Amino acid sequence: MSDLETLIPPGAQITVAGETLTLKPLKVGSLPAFLRAISPVMQSLTAPAIDWLALFGERGDDLLAAISIAVGKPREWVDDLAADEAILLAAKVIEVNADFFTQTVIPKLDGLFAQMKHAPTVASGSTPSSG
| 50-79 pLDDT per residue, tens | 888 888 889 999 999 999 999 999 999 999
pLDDT > 80? residue 85: yes
Q: What is the pLDDT of residue 7?
A: 47
Rounded to 5 degrees, φ, ψ at 16 are -135, 130
Dihedral (CA of 55, 94, 75, 65) sign: positive
For 36, the enclosing helix (H) or strand (E) is: helix 31-38
Selected residue with higher pLDDT from 75 and 119: 75
